[in-house]
Amino acid sequence: MSKQDVHLTGVERTFGRDEIIVSKTDPKGRIIYANEVFLNIASYTEDEVLGAPHSIIRHPDMPRCVFKLLWDTIESGKEIFAYVLNRAKNGDHYWVLAHVTPTFDGTGKIVSYHSNRRSPRREAVIKADALYRELLAIEQAHSDRKAGMDAALQAMVSKLQAAGIPYDEFVFTL
């Protein structure tokens, strides 16, 4: 589905504080497992998501630079926490606090990624949304998508350096 095919309803979905969205992907980001909470909030069936790219739930208002940071981190073998705006099949949206970790085989090779997503605090969503709008504007100000993503990533890195905190710490200050 291309970006222009994405219908957005403007309706926000939420899920319970005691619910956890869980999914696993292969190293290329194709879904190999999704729990019932994932399927319910995203309005997909298991058949629709298994083998599909995890980006099936990507919201077009989510800055690409955040996903670049996420993928660079997990591909290097580290875990990451991030606020993410997702899109359900019908165009509704939902925010999550994601914790993504690589899974290694006995030789230390990454064989999959595991993501647990919890319901975020409203105050954190407001702050993440403001930052993401700023980063998205930077991305969209460039005619070249990669240059825009790189510029937004650099803007985010500069903010973090100025604040003197790494990204993971920043996430927990929201």
Contacts of 6 (CB under 8 A, 6+ apart): 60, 87, 91
Residues 141, 146, 151, 152, Cα dihedral to 10° = 80
Interval 7-26: pLDDT, tens: 899 999 999 999 999 999 99
Q: How many helices (H) and strands (E) does the chain have?
A: 6, 5
pTM, 2 dp: 0.91
Lowest average pLDDT, out of 1-15, 62-76, 145-159, goes to 1-15
Domains present along the chain, CATH in parentheses: 3-120 (3.30.450.20)
Interval 32-59: pLDDT, tens: 999 999 999 999 999 999 999 999 999 9
Q: What percent of the chain has pLDDT over 90?
A: 89
Transcribe 148-165 into DSSP letters. HHHHHHHHHHHHHHHHT-
